Structure 1
């Protein structure tokens, strides 16, 4: 009885509390609070414009001559595009192109983050990737919350491959049951991955204490035969990409070749 009453009170308060809950989902980091030093040449700053007119700042390393691969990178909930650029620099290995996406409300961008807002931002960055690499192959990589953006885009559009690191099953599984009615956003990765036709690589640290590694198992089950799960022994929520970049590109190449075999 008491539990039912508390649940009712939570539901009644939901409209007023939605913005408060959303503020706890997203932790934008200002560029003023960010200092990084790149291992190689710094990326080129650029912008992508969303369907609702927001100009979002990102970074870009072009593919080297003779390389037609470009990966679009989506960061997590408490990052920004500059932090992610430094952490994703390793994906340049082999001369591949890297496009660092950003979201509304993050890294001094205009707007406020939301599920549909981030998906719209992802659409803008995918369009930018096709503009930059019109005849080449496009891959999507998402860390944590960025994994939800990458999976949703892969479900909507044809890309060459997609990978996530530390992805959750759905946002509701990350919060206590009593608070789920207050969630303004869903981010249902289980539903999204089931709609993806391209090869999906699920990278997950075995010692991840933010998102239980069991999430990768459930996502693999939901995605089916085109999903490859990689258990990163000793890895936590974020695993340095220097340690897995070559392995990821090699795995993508192998999966791509297998997909075209008669």
Structure 2
């Protein structure tokens, strides 16, 4: 995620005292993205948003007999292809992986915004349920994508949710000087109080972008259904190669101990 780059751009913007919503997002076109997968590449897949946009993402269907699929939300930069390479380890055990993307990212139409990203996430969760009607759907977000995943878990029924490098709010994540100019909210500290599903918070102990203490505040706000995992020595991004299976197991253990809950309204 490019939040450090964001801060540098905000410094120049702050002098003009204008809103900086357009500086929050740093998409990269697919033409400028050269990525290689270790195994079979994902399928290209599209989702339709409520306001009429067609968005492209990446999809590995679950193996026959596997009823688990994770919808993965990337951060404020790059695109779904970069996140697909990073998310490939989630396929362990034949699980399904749907890598979502947002308006204005990659080659997707539209202009990103907080409201827009939530609409996009809604469309991707609906797509996951369309593709795998009987599957258990999990949500996972990296950095800014963690805010998207948590908000969707608060609004929609999911089996469990997880984040990596999540902040308490976008303003909290910005330097104090720049906070008055940050207009997007992404208030995870409030959102997490509305999530009933098991929540897994992952955070690198050497995160250079988002203070690890923010994970402690989120854990406290989220209450008993939160499990916080400190990734020793990890930075803002931590590869999933060695932890994907552990995350699945953690979710399954939390799911097994979770009392039955009423499904949220669609």
TM-score by length of 2: 0.90
* Equivalent position of 2:116 in the other structure: 117
- CA distances 1:117-172 after superposition (whole Å, capped 9, x unpaired): 10111111011011011111000000000000000000001100000000000011
Q: Compute the displacement of 1:251 (Å).
A: 0.3
Q: Which SS does the other structure have where 2:129 is aligned? A: helix
For 1:68-87, list aligned pairs within 5 A: 68-87=67-86
For 1:1-262, list aligned pairs within 5 A: 17-18=18-19, 21-260=20-259
Q: Matches of 1:176 and 1:89 in 2, distance apart? A: 33
Q: Compute the displacement of 1:108 (Å).
A: 1.3
Number of matched pairs: 248
| Gapped regions of structure 2 (runs ≥ 5) | 1-12, 261-266
Q: Matches of 1:246 and 1:46 in 2, distance apart? A: 25
Q: Compute the displacement of 1:221 (Å).
A: 0.4
* Equivalent position of 2:264 in the other structure: none
- CA distances 1:90-114 after superposition (whole Å, capped 9, x unpaired): 0000110000000001011111111
Q: Which SS does the other structure have where 1:241 is aligned? A: coil
| Gapped regions of structure 1 (runs ≥ 5) | 1-9
Two-structure CA RMSD over aligned residues (Å): 1.6
Q: Matches of 1:134 and 1:184 in 2, distance apart? A: 37
* Equivalent position of 1:5 in the other structure: none
- If each structure's helix is expressed as a fraction of its own residues, which one has the higher value? 1
Q: Which SS does the other structure have where 1:194 is aligned? A: helix
TM-score by length of 1: 0.91
